Structure 1
């Protein structure tokens, strides 16, 4: 019997989730929460699912097994807690929520109910980023001394003006880091290991009528002793692919978008260079750097497939709720440092 899903939300990211779930043989799209009547009719006709307006009603419906929450970031806690209380497994878009306290409420509810909890961080499934993780763990770079993440994107003023929740602390939870840059933060800590200290500055430099930052810079210290930098912005025209640089005493690796730009190593085996060569691209583009709607659902499908497998086989998903919490904590620490003007140690 397939895992029956309720998708909670029908905003800009919804189509990716609807197509991803519909493309998984072991999953069934049963319910979609949508309050826009025109869009609801389109979804009902195309996907053959039931439309519900109330998120809690959908999350606790006896006819579903799991919820996929894609509502604004700061609205997910209560939905997830209700779903867990009704015995439903929970997966949700990044960030899981806007503060670690709110994330912890969801994790506690899922753990007490014995249901799975996962976050959408689809870049972890892409070969170039998997190679980057392996390059560090296998010692291809020697002792890693620097790990830097750059997410220099472009969002128009209309992007913020077109939504009542974007750019607000209450529902967006932050700006260029919490909304756009969180994938880079997640990948950097996944590859480099735990962050133990941050020091940051943020600003709103290129957009009007938003409460949150559109530009942020933070220095990091990792548990290994390595240092690093995070730069995130939605103010850079025309927008550039997400990039992470990892440097060590025996090698260096630069990954941009979905490709390896450069890999150097004095100690890596020949097959590592062959693998890196297959993932290499001299010029990298990334459409989401300037247009948030340009995303392929392939990687969402792979992640939701992993989630479905974890439920059916009783295993842990690749990006569990505990894993998804880490990037929220780092960004919360960065915001705290920017507010106080002082370094902030982790865990918070």
Structure 2
């Protein structure tokens, strides 16, 4: 808020804020100052995800019915001890459902559109010094009956997570096919019975390789372009308030044990 009042355009790390009230104050301040407030939501600039969204829009798998997203890492004690603020739920805004889940709710929006209901549960806590959730699961329901499942965990132990990396996969199942994305290995596979994608009238697998482009580079380039041209960012504050709303609805559901209309 201080930055836009000082006449600066702002690129803020995701999530936009820890609460919707904070987000609203940031939005009002940016609009009053006539300055850009863009959220650094890298998934919107990931070529793998934007291509998957294009495939879905083009009908490659027909209408999607199910999206499953797994984000799994191992949160080492050294990480927590070096970032004491992350232990405090008020400072961090939550746990992994906010720090990682907000990315995945954005992916869900890209692939399926806007949900109408969110339900979430929190697993048994492993890192007891951490107030926020270290493992949780959310589901989102959509007007057309589609469902998304988000699994967010800091408890995954593997040779991959032991080196500080995370397992991050996305699966989309539709009437005529499925998409499989591995965001760590940068792979995208399409299984389709759509006439434009099948061969000899049978289900066909396509291993789709894209030119590697860094989402962070694309994000920064977009921010600078918006400043130069005066255009609204793709990940503007008002749009990203919606993604924050979904993640916070998951926390409301965890507390109440009931689905939350969004």
Contact kept, 8 Å, 1:197 with 1:220, in 2: the verdict is: yes
Offset of residue 208 of structure 1: 2.4
Q: Is 1:183 matched with 2:103?
A: yes
**Where does residue 134 of structure 1 map in the other structure?**
54
Q: Secondary structure at the match of 2:179?
A: strand
Q: Is 1:264 matched with 2:184?
A: no
In the alignment, the residues of structure 1 paired with residue 196 and residue 30 of structure 2 have an alpha-carbon distance, to the nearest angstrom, of 43
Offset of residue 121 of structure 1: 1.5
Contact kept, 8 Å, 1:121 with 1:183, in 2: the verdict is: yes
**Where does residue 254 of structure 1 map in the other structure?**
180
Which contiguous aligned blocks of 4+ residues in structure 1 show a shift greater than 6 angstroms? none
Contact kept, 8 Å, 2:108 with 2:148, in 1: the verdict is: no
Offset of residue 167 of structure 1: 2.5
Q: Secondary structure at the match of 1:336?
A: helix
In the alignment, the residues of structure 2 paired with residue 223 and residue 100 of structure 1 have an alpha-carbon distance, to the nearest angstrom, of 24
Offset of residue 338 of structure 1: 0.6
**Where does residue 242 of structure 1 map in the other structure?**
168
Q: After superposition, give the CA deviation of every residue in 1:118-146 in whole Å (9 maximum; x if it has no partner).
A: 11122322221111111221111111111
Flag structure 2 segments of 5+ consecutive residues without an equivalent.
199-203
**Where does residue 304 of structure 1 map in the other structure?**
220
Alignment of 1:1-348 (within 5 A): 81-238=1-158, 239=161, 240-257=166-183, 259-267=186-194, 269-270=196-197, 277-279=208-210, 298-346=214-262
In the alignment, the residues of structure 1 paired with residue 41 and residue 206 of structure 2 have an alpha-carbon distance, to the nearest angstrom, of 23
Contact kept, 8 Å, 1:126 with 1:299, in 2: the verdict is: yes
In the alignment, the residues of structure 2 paired with residue 334 and residue 152 of structure 1 have an alpha-carbon distance, to the nearest angstrom, of 18
Contact kept, 8 Å, 1:198 with 1:219, in 2: the verdict is: yes
Larger radius of gyration, structure 1 or 2? 1
Offset of residue 279 of structure 1: 4.0
Offset of residue 233 of structure 1: 0.8
Q: Secondary structure at the match of 1:147?
A: strand
Q: Secondary structure at the match of 2:116?
A: strand
Aligned in 2, Cα 1:199/1:124: closer, same or farther, shift over 3 Å? same
**Where does residue 201 of structure 2 map in the other structure?**
none
- The Cα RMSD (Å) is 2.3
What TM-score results when the alignment is normalised by the length of structure 1? Answer: 0.67
Q: Secondary structure at the match of 2:155?
A: coil
Contact kept, 8 Å, 1:131 with 1:276, in 2: the verdict is: no
What TM-score results when the alignment is normalised by the length of structure 2? Answer: 0.87
Q: Secondary structure at the match of 1:105?
A: helix
Contact kept, 8 Å, 2:190 with 2:205, in 1: the verdict is: no
Flag structure 1 segments of 5+ consecutive residues without an equivalent.
1-80, 281-296
Task: Name the structure, 1 or 2, with higher relative contact order (CA <8 Å, separation 6+).
Answer: 2
Contact kept, 8 Å, 2:89 with 2:132, in 1: the verdict is: yes
With 259-268 and 94-103 compared, the bigger mean Cα shift is at: 259-268
